[in-house]
Amino acid sequence: MSSITEKDVLAALTQVQEPQSGKDLVSLNMVKNVEIDGPRVSFTVEFKSASYPFKEKVLANAKAAVMTISGVGIVTVNSKINDPLKVISSQPAQTMSAPQPAMRPQQPVQPQKQNLIPSAKNTIAVASGKGGVGKTTVSVNLAVSLAQSGAAVGLLDSDIYGPNVPIMMGVNQKLGTRNNKIAPLERYGVHMVSVGFISEGDTAIIWRGPMVGKMIQQFLGEVDWGALDYLVIDMPPGTGDAQLTLTQTVPLTGAIIVTTPQDVALADAKKGINMFRKVEVPILGLVENMSYFICPHCNKRHEIFDHGGGKKASKKFKVPFLGEIPLETKVRIGGDQGTPIVISEPEASVSVAFKNLANSVMKQIDILKAKETDQGLLKRVFKIS
């Protein structure tokens, strides 16, 4: 891939005219903060007034111009208003006033969630409090199982630092564009987007939190997903920037918490549940992965990581229990080879467990939406605010 420079970006933007003056954006000093990270380019276009009538046209033309540069994969265009009069008039007057009584601290107001993906009927976050519990394995097999049910399914790999969806789905391609948006790749009936489809080989992604948030927002709002019944979002482990970006900017239908039976994993699962509850995202349920192992030689069941912790945790945290996924070597082999177990051995017991998980998730979504409908009806009838 060719090396992109700031000079290349500015040269492309000299071809974009500002309609009122007829001059290009660069000569008008409207282009700010050009940042380049491999195939990803971001910059800001500065406008003089919030009422400028050609803002959307200029931003679209600027993005299209930079997309023509060889090697560019993703373009993020930000906008900024630089209106000195507005800044001055917005400053509060400094006046003396009588001392005010102490106020009780108010609960933080949740930011208004955007609908970045209106074409998706249901958005499902698959999360875990810690790494190593098989969250991506669950996400991949869940997405494929939902697609096998006849649903239109998307899979967003939001683990920017450790994207494993490309490997597990057996896709080694680069993202393209369609309808002036990012075009997801498709396999096994699932439409996919991952930073792994952009980065080069073993190149490490070294970004600060804000860059991670912007990337996830772009994967949501600037992808031509098409009409989806379900968008499965494979979350990174923990409760960091990626989780906050998603929960605060997207109206998630609900979250699935993946855990393993041992106490350490369950303690971390509790943190994930509490995080989603704080940001008012419903918990669809908890799934216990690596629940038990059936020896292929003696056919005996072995509970390697203990057993039953998932059910106990679901009762303790008052969330639905979605099922147990056994520990199976073929699941690991299928993930390494890019063939999910529900594809390679659809009749295997672990494949049946994943399909049962998909059915349980669909059922919980139906229950959740029925409750929301009933609550909305009650509010309208009794005029409850």
Read out DSSP for 182-215?
Answer: EEPEEETTEEEEEGGGTS-TT------HHHHHHH
- Out of 31-35, 207-211, 222-226, 297-301, least confident range: 207-211
Q: pLDDT band at residue 219, thresholds of 50, 70 and 90?
A: confident
Beta strands 40-47 and 74-81: pairing type? parallel
Could you tell me the CATH superfamily of domain 120-382?
P-loop containing nucleotide triphosphate hydrolases (3.40.50.300)
Closest to 154 measured CA to CA, from 179, 183, 128, 130:
183
Tell me the domain boundaries of the chain: 6-83, 120-382
Rounded to whole angstroms, how far apart are CA atoms 169 and 191? 11
Q: Would you say 130 and 264 are in contact if contact means Cβ atoms under 8 Å apart?
A: yes
pLDDT at 104 over 60: no
Read off the pTM: 0.67
pLDDT at 99 over 90: no
- Out of 94-98, 130-134, 192-196, least confident range: 94-98
357 vs 373 pLDDT, higher one: 357
User: Average of pLDDT values for 309-327?
Assistant: 85
6-83 maps to CATH 3.30.70.100:
no
Q: pLDDT band at residue 1, thresholds of 50, 70 and 90?
A: very low
Q: Would you say 229 and 152 are in contact if contact means Cβ atoms under 8 Å apart?
A: yes
Q: Do domains 6-83 and 120-382 have the same CATH topology?
A: no
pLDDT at site 47? 86
Q: Would you say 116 and 250 are in contact if contact means Cβ atoms under 8 Å apart?
A: yes
Average pLDDT value for the chain: 80
Residues composing the chain: 385
